[in-house]
Structure 1
């Protein structure tokens, strides 16, 4: 676990965790992503299950090796597209080789013609997390809104993916923050469901 002073705000926790993540060498970040994908997928992939991931930016852990594994096990894939600020993400069907468009912040998104889907499993980016299943994202609340909207429709499993150095002692969670079911790091799979 990283050693953080007890900053009072999500902003300071986010900044400290991202500095830890940014300090990891690129080869170590790639090895971490491959280590996570080499383990058994943490949730059963039944035929037709939709797994959404994300396109990594900056020093984020790369979820694509894990998405390859899910697809190899029969999952249908999806990636997020930003609709508007203050709205849940639109998860669009996607498979390796499909075209992209540049979305907000230059993040690659499926093209608008790709159908919207409701994933069963979400692989979620994060800035930091704690052992209670809480996460701090990047501040816009997109994933909290999206997880909340999907959980209102059906059972959805939210899996955070991060480097072990992104763990903090406690996230100052609010009632708007959606709890993760698992977090996968290069060191371990942490299951909060039990």
Structure 2
């Protein structure tokens, strides 16, 4: 009697490509001033990512309620999110520990490198716009004005150590990471928790 065995799907080259893109996003997310959303836009997965996240809706809940696991997974593009999420986690953890040391011992060189990365990402996104008309220029000026206002905000010198504040910082930073051009790590700098977060990563890895 022949028995049909259900085997887990083998990761494909596309899965590993999403893993690599996730590593790039995670590494960007940990650098103040560099946006993981911008990286997602540059590597061509931003629309798919936003679509997958937006599908965490009533239909998805309905599939879960009726135990339609495969339909639920397909609805939110779970395979894509899993490999991308693994990459983001690996990239953020790997660079987060190093970043703590770089900002402590080589602050000026590290900030100069940040400047170069931000400049390069601006140029790449500008190429994606294609034809620049009046509307695009106005939108760019508005975005630049908001970014300028944001970077002029002073970091909190004595932020609360309560868990609710850490949770709030995480929520705000993650929301910012989804938006191209907004750095979640820089939000953590303003909220006074960036050094603490990278310090936790460094301590966890015993570096």
TM-score bin, normalised by smaller chain: under 0.3
- TM-score, normalising length: structure 1: 0.25
Structure with greater strand share of residues: 1
Q: Which has the higher helix share?
A: 2
Relative contact order higher in (CA < 8 Å, ≥ 6 apart): 2
Give the number of the structure whose alpha-carbon radius of gyration is greater: 2
